Amino acid sequence: MKFKKIMAAAMSAALAIGTLAGCSPSNGKNDSTDKITIKVGGWPSEEGNKEAYTRMESIKKKFEEKYSDIKVEEDEWGFDLNTFLPKAASGQLPDVYITSITEMKRIIRSGYASNVSKYMKKYKYTDYLRDDILKLISDDKGEIYALPKFAYSMGLLINLKLFREAGLVKEDGTPQIPETWEQVAQYAQTVKQKTGKAGFSMATMNNVGGWHFMNIAWAYGVTKEFAKQENGSWTADFATPEGTAALQFVKDLKWKYDAVGENALLDFDEMYKMFATGRTAMMVADPPMNALIEQYGMKNSDIAAVSMPAGPAGRFNQIGGELYVMKNGLSDEVIDACFKWLQFNGTTPELTDDVKENIDSQYKMENEKGYVVGIRKYSMWKSDNIPPVQKYEDEVRTKYTNINPKMFTDYENFDKVTPIAEPPVSCQQLYSLLDGCIQNVWTDKNADPEKLMKDAANNYQVNYLDKEKN
C-alpha cells in the first residue's frame, strides 16, 4: 500500500505538466431556456424509412403540443457497439438511447446510464414488469437503469421457401416442426441434400454464437447460470458432460450431418442475409425479425417460427429485449421529461388516448410495410397483473394481421418452453469464449468438445469469475 502511494506521488509530480482530467461527461443541456430539451436516439431517418419517420414526426408534434415545456430533438444514432464508447465518453449520446438487454450490464458497469429507479416506481412500471426482466436491467443493489421497450423470447426461424423445396412442409403449407435438436439436425441435413443450401446456420462472431448457443446448452442440461455460486464466489459450471454434449451436437451439425454452410466465421448480419436470401433454412432468432424484410427484402409469407427445440433436459429459450436508457449525468427534469416522452410514445402499462393512437399507427405502418404482423409477442408484463395496454395491443394486432397465423402457432405457445434470462456474470465474455468453441468445432474436424469446454470454463473462471469479488 505504501509503495503504491509513493509511486502515485512520484508519478503525479513527474506529470505536473501533463495530467489533466480526462473526458468528463457533459451534462444534459437544459440550462439557458426554461424549455427542457431531450435528445431522442434511434430516430428513423427520412431517407431510410420514410413511413416510420413521418409517424415519429407526427407523434413528436402532438407531444410538444401537449407538453409545451419540453422540446424533442431527434438523433438518428441507434445502438451500435462500435461507436457506443466513443459517443458515451464524449458525452455525445442522445439523452434517451435504445439498446438491447445483453448490453446492459457493461453499460451499467461503465457508468453510462442514469439510475431511473425513482421514475420506474413513479410511473408504475415496477408494478407490472416481470421480475426476471427487472433483474436484467438492475445492478447488484437492485437499482434500475433502463426502461424496457419490449421483450422477446427466442425461437427457431424457418425459411419456408427452402423447406418447401426440401419437401419439409405439411399439406396445409405449414412446416414440419423440428421438436428436438436432433430433428433440427436431420431436417437441416435433408435441406442440404435436397437443395444444396445450408440447413441450419449460427453466427459465430461478435459474441452472437455464444448467445445463441445458450439455448442449445440448456436443452442439453447445462445449469442456467453457467456457473455455481457458493459463499459469494462463482465457479464455472459448463465443462460437464452436458456442456460437452451440447458442443458435440454443434460439431455434428457440420461434420456428421454436413448441414451447415462452409463459412464458419459468420457474423450476425451475414447470418441474417443468408437466411433472408434463401441460403440457409433455419436459424435461432428472436421473432418477428422485421429486419429480414426491411433490409434484405424477404417476403413475410416465407417466414415461419417455431418454439426452441427440446434437448435431453427439456426445452429452454433465452429471453431478452430492447431497452430505453437515459444517459448518465442527466438532471431530474430531463429524465422525467424522457419518461413522459416514452410513455406518450407507447411504452407504458397505462392506456390513454394518445397511447392508443400511437399503438394503432405503429401496427398500421408495420402492416403497410409488409412486416410480420399478427404474431403474439412475448410479454414483458407480469402474467398475473396484465396491464390495460397489453389487452389493447392484442386487439390492434389481430386487426392488422397480415400473415398466416398457423405459421407461428408453435412459436406462440410460450408455455411449452421454459424462459431463462442470460447468465448473470460477465455474460458477454462468456459468449465470446463460446464463440471461440463454436468456431473451433466448425473449422477443425478433429476438435475435442470436451477439451474445448474445459478450456473455455477455465478461461471464464480465471479471467472473469475470479475477478468477481464482493
Partner 1 sequence: MKRKPKRKELGFITQVEMSKPKTKLVYWFMFAILMVISLCMIVPALWILVSGFKDTEEFLRVPPTLVPQSFHPEKIKYVWEKFDYVLYFKNTFVLAAGTILFTIVLNGLAGYVLSRLKPRGSRAVFTMIVLLMMIPGTVSMVPLYMTICDFPYLHFSMLNSYTALWIMAGANCFNILIFKSFFDSLPKAYIEAAQIDGYNNLQIFYKIIIPLSVPVIMTISILTFNASWGDFLFPYLILTDKKMYTISIFLFRNKSGSYPIDIYMIMLTLSILPPAIIFVFLQKHIIGGMTLGGIKE
Partner 2 sequence: MKTKVQGTAGLKQYGKRGSMMLFRDAGAWLLLLPTIIIIYFFTVRPIIIGLWYSMHEMQGFTPKMFVGFENYKRVLADTQFLKTLMNTVLYVVWSFVIGFVPPILTAILLNEMIHCSGWFKFSIYFPTIVPTVAATMLWYYMYLPDSSGLLNTVLLKLGAEPQGWLQNSVLTIPLIVIMSTWKGCGSTMILYLAALQGVNQELYEAAIIDGAGFTKRIIHITMPQIMGITILNAVRQIINVFQIMTEPLTMTGGGPDGASMSMALWGYKSAFIEFNTGTSLAIGAITFAILIVLTMFYFYAESKVD
Total residues interacting with partner 1, rule: CB under 8 A: 24
Say which entry of partner 1, partner 2, none residue 467 contacts (CB below 5 to 8 A, set by partner kind): partner 2
C-alpha grid cell, residue 368: 403497410
What are the two backbone dihedrals, phi and then psi, of residue 150, each rounded to the nearest 5 degrees?
A: -155, 165
| C-alpha to C-alpha distance for 245 and 453, rounded to whole angstroms | 10
Nearer to partner 2, 99 or 379 (CB): 99
Indicate whether 443 belongs to the interface with partner 2 (CB under 8 A).
yes
Taking alpha carbons only, the member of 170, 26, 122, 99 closest to residue 428 is 99
User: Which range, of 15-23, 141-149, 392-400, 409-417, touches partner 2 by CB under 8 A?
Assistant: 15-23
Which of 217, 437, 453, 465 contacts partner 2 by CB under 8 A? 437
Helix axes 427-443, 241-255, angle to 10 degrees: 40
- Contacts (CB under 8 A) with partner 1, residues 261-290: 267-270, 272-273, 277
Contacts of 147 (CB under 8 A, 6+ apart): 116, 120, 125, 137, 323, 324, 325, 339, 342, 347
Which of 48, 111, 314, 405 contacts partner 2 by CB under 8 A? 111
Tell me how far the alpha carbon of residue 293 is from its chain's centroid: 18
Indicate whether 87 belongs to the interface with partner 1 (CB under 8 A).
yes
Nearer to partner 1, 297 or 312 (CB): 297
Sign of CA dihedral 108, 111, 114, 116: positive
| DSSP reduced 3-state for 70 | strand
Indicate whether 439 belongs to the interface with partner 2 (CB under 8 A).
yes
Supply the minimum distance, in Å, between the C-beta of residue 274 and partner 1. Answer: 10
Say which entry of partner 1, partner 2, none residue 352 contacts (CB below 5 to 8 A, set by partner kind): none
| C-alpha to C-alpha distance for 426 and 320, rounded to whole angstroms | 16
Which of 428, 430, 449, 465 contacts partner 2 by CB under 8 A? 428
Indicate whether 3 belongs to the interface with partner 2 (CB under 8 A).
yes
Indicate whether 446 belongs to the interface with partner 2 (CB under 8 A).
no
Say which entry of partner 2, partner 1, none residue 180 contacts (CB below 5 to 8 A, set by partner kind): none
Bridge partners (DSSP) of residue 175 are 169
Indicate whether 15 belongs to the interface with partner 2 (CB under 8 A).
yes
Do 185 and 249 form a contact (C-beta atoms < 8 A)? Answer: yes
Please give the DSSP secondary-structure letter assigned to residue 229: E
Say which entry of partner 2, partner 1, none residue 359 contacts (CB below 5 to 8 A, set by partner kind): none
Give the DSSP per-residue string, 132-181.
HHHHHTB-TT--B--EEEEEEE-EEEEEHHHHHHTT-B-TTSPBPP--BH
Which of 92, 176, 186, 223 contacts partner 1 by CB under 8 A? 92
Which of 12, 110, 295, 443 contacts partner 1 by CB under 8 A? 295
Indicate whether 98 belongs to the interface with partner 1 (CB under 8 A).
no
Supply the minimum distance, in Å, between the C-beta of residue 12 and partner 2. Answer: 8
| C-alpha to C-alpha distance for 434 and 150, rounded to whole angstroms | 27
Say which entry of partner 2, partner 1, none residue 444 contacts (CB below 5 to 8 A, set by partner kind): partner 2
Return the number of other C-beta atoms located less than 10 Å from residue 267's C-beta. 15
Say which entry of partner 1, partner 2, none residue 112 contacts (CB below 5 to 8 A, set by partner kind): partner 2
Indicate whether 267 belongs to the interface with partner 2 (CB under 8 A).
yes
Contacts of 212 (CB under 8 A, 6+ apart): 154, 202, 203, 284
| C-alpha to C-alpha distance for 50 and 69, rounded to whole angstroms | 28
Residues that bind partner 1 (CB under 8 A): 20, 22-24, 76-77, 82-83, 86-87, 89-92, 196, 267-270, 272-273, 277, 295-296
Residues that bind partner 2 (CB under 8 A): 3-4, 7-8, 11, 15, 18-19, 22-25, 81-82, 85-86, 88-89, 106, 109-112, 204-206, 261-265, 267, 428-429, 435-437, 439-440, 442-444, 458-459, 462-463, 467
